[in-house]
Chain A
Amino acid sequence: DGGITQSPKYLFRKEGQNVTLSCEQNLNHDAMYWYRQDPGQGLRLIYYSQIVNDFQKGDIAEGYSVSREKKESFPLTVTSAQKNPTAFYLCASDPGQVSGQPQHFGDGTRLSIL
């Protein structure tokens, strides 16, 4: 089945540590996105990528980094510069240019501070 796989489901970060969240899609989608969701809040865009080797900052990119070396993969690194990383992180993808196509989401990674 086609879809988006996020791993791990739960992740714990120590002070000063960088952690990487994985996102893999087999939908052959060009565009991929990372969102952050805080309790009772909507989603906020961290980074997005339209094509391989290209990505742009979203509304809350500070303290995060991404790479897009392969079409299927869009990992997110939460760096030690992100002082409040506890949140639910969601990865999404869509075909990009094609109109009328909704974004597809993974099941998320919940990140907590140790």
Chain B
Amino acid sequence: KQEVTQIPAALSVPEGENLVLNCSFTDSAIYNLQWFRQDPGKGLTSLLLIQSSQREQTSGRLNASLDKSSGRSTLYIAASQPGDSATYLCAVPISSGSARQLTFGSGTQLTVLP
């Protein structure tokens, strides 16, 4: 059974710092990997999706990498801002026909201090 682990569980950094969030998964036969952001009391917002054939994806100050062979992904946030404060979750699907069940990590709660 696929298991997803995110380390650290919480992270606090000063504004302007570059940072890396980690995600590891046990079964490397993944279809893709997704990174989401969750603000308190809200749903999830998709940040980046990396296909299994890709090694990285970029969106603005965010860069996600994927190493299937080692079962790892990282989310790099450049020049962090207080507005980046949120919980970041990674998820991998187990393809099942046309639906894609997602297995989630427990998330990293990020606080960016002004």
- Give A41 to B45 CA distance when docked, in angstroms: 17
Judge whether B100 and A94 touch: CB under 8 Å. Answer: yes
B114 within 8 A of A: no
Closest-by-CB residue of A relative to B52 is A99
User: Taking the nearest CB of chain A, how far is it from the CB of B9, in angstroms?
Assistant: 8
Closest-by-CB residue of B relative to A49 is B99
- Give A51 to B44 CA distance when docked, in angstroms: 23
| Contact A105-B89, Cβ < 8 Å, known A30-B98, A41-B106, A42-B4 | no
Chain B binding surface, main DSSP class: strand
Judge whether B42 and A108 touch: CB under 8 Å. Answer: yes
User: Taking the nearest CB of chain B, how far is it from the CB of A25, in angstroms?
Assistant: 12
User: Taking the nearest CB of chain B, how far is it from the CB of A88, in angstroms?
Assistant: 8
Contact-residue bracket for chain A: 35 or more
A31 within 8 A of B: yes
Residues in A neighbouring B31, C-beta threshold 8 A? 99
User: Taking the nearest CB of chain A, how far is it from the CB of B50, in angstroms?
Assistant: 10
Judge whether A103 and B42 touch: CB under 8 Å. Answer: no
B104 within 8 A of A: yes
Judge whether A103 and B46 touch: CB under 8 Å. Answer: yes
Judge whether A50 and B98 touch: CB under 8 Å. Answer: yes
A104 within 8 A of B: yes
Judge whether B106 and A106 touch: CB under 8 Å. Answer: no
Judge whether B34 and A31 touch: CB under 8 Å. Answer: no
- Give A106 to B45 CA distance when docked, in angstroms: 9
Question: Can you list 28 residue pairs at the A/B interface with Cβ under 8 Å?
Answer: A4-B43, A31-B100, A33-B102, A35-B104, A41-B106, A42-B105, A42-B107, A43-B89, A43-B102, A44-B104, A48-B99, A50-B97, A56-B99, A58-B101, A92-B44, A94-B100, A96-B98, A96-B99, A96-B100, A99-B31, A99-B32, A100-B49, A103-B46, A103-B102, A105-B43, A106-B43, A107-B43, A108-B41
7 closest Cβ pairs, A-B complex: A42-B104, A102-B46, A105-B43, A96-B98, A105-B44, A50-B99, A43-B104
